Structure 1
Amino acid sequence: MTATPPAGLTPDEFRQSLGRFASGVTVVTAKSGAERRGMTANAFVSVSLAPPLILVSVGTGAHMHALLAAPEVTHFGVNVLSSTQRFLSDHFAGKPGPEEAVPWFEHEGLPLLGGAVAQLVCRKHQALPAGDHTLYVGFVEYARYTDDDPLVYFRGQYHELG
């Protein structure tokens, strides 16, 4: 007879606990054919400097997950939002505003967001199933950045530095 593993925290307890970790806000972008998508993600981390790798966690039920899982999608973007881009975080988190307000631009065919404090172009390097998410590791092939202030998320609310 095998022992039943402990249940652990409830999803709400886990969310409330991890909400105490301040994070930046990113929008992951990708394209397949004419379809371009974005998804707000604060589960983003740098993995390695050499080689330059990042990781983003995408829920298996998200539209972005289906897009990133497609074999023809070889690249994705990560846009680190500026303190003036709360509306983009909301827009790509399921509270869409007018599409014409989204500052889309393309870098070698990959959709990115203008005005972000950093934009990364990543080649899909690895996809690791992890519970109800997939961890997408990206090899960073291109980056641009500014010295603007980032958008910060803490305890379920947006904040600014200073």
Structure 2
Amino acid sequence: MDDRLFRNAMSKFATGVTVIATETNGNVHGMTANAFMSVSLDPKLVVISIGERANILSKIKDSGIFTVNILADDQKELSMNFAGQLKETKEVSFARLNDMPVIDGAVAQMACEVSATHVEGDHTLFIGRVKDVYLEEKDPLLFFNGKYRSMIAVEEPIS
């Protein structure tokens, strides 16, 4: 199977957009990702998938922590910044949740401790035990078919 065909098929799955962050030696590192999902309610677990060439991979391994920041629909530039899509990288200030770096204004922030790792193919899956959560009432930034999107409410038919 052609790699492009597989990538095109995966782009047909609409996802939210997250910034994964971690901290080592007082320095915060982040990257844009959409490979994130919940795993368990009891205990509260999530999983992120990080490519073997991503700079943040060794940082999460070293720190043993990460945060998941589900971006709001007005945070496209932040996503592009952490994806390396801007001509000039912009400095980002981070807030704290459970003493871990998070992005202000995100729809959801989750502070996680790594509870397990699993290498599969060219990615490492980090299972994180969620230590704290903060929510804001905003619409999420979405990604579909290689483009950023926003939600549009659809009226439910009255029965």
Identity %: 37
Unaligned runs of 5+ in 1: 1-8
**How far does residue 13 in structure 1 lie from its aligned partner after superposition?**
1.1
RMSD: 1.2
Deviations for 1:97-155, whole angstroms, at most 9, x for unmatched residues? 4534x241123431110000000000101110010000010000100111200000000
- Is the CA contact 2:11–2:144 (under 8 Å) kept in the aligned structure 1? yes
Q: TM-score, normalised by structure 1?
A: 0.89
**CA distance in 1 between partners of 2:93 and 2:73 (Å):** 15
- Is the CA contact 2:97–2:132 (under 8 Å) kept in the aligned structure 1? no
**CA distance in 2 between partners of 1:140 and 1:109 (Å):** 13
The one-letter code matched in structure 1 to 2:22 is A
**CA distance in 1 between partners of 2:7 and 2:147 (Å):** 13
Pair 1:42 & 2:42 matched: no
Structure 1 outlier segments of 4+, above 6 Å? none
SS of residue matched to 1:122: strand
**1:26 aligned residue:** 18
Residue number among 91, 110, 121 corresponding to 1:131 in the alignment: 121
Pair 1:161 & 2:151 matched: yes
Unaligned runs of 5+ in 2: 153-159
**2:44 aligned residue:** 52
Pair 1:99 & 2:86 matched: no
**CA distance in 2 between partners of 1:121 and 1:86 (Å):** 22
The one-letter code matched in structure 2 to 1:28 is I
Q: TM-score, normalised by structure 2?
A: 0.90
**CA distance in 1 between partners of 2:26 and 2:132 (Å):** 22
Equivalenced residues, count: 151
- Is the CA contact 1:25–1:40 (under 8 Å) kept in the aligned structure 2? yes
Deviations for 1:15-61, whole angstroms, at most 9, x for unmatched residues? 10010000000000000012210010101010111111100000011
- Is the CA contact 1:103–1:115 (under 8 Å) kept in the aligned structure 2? no
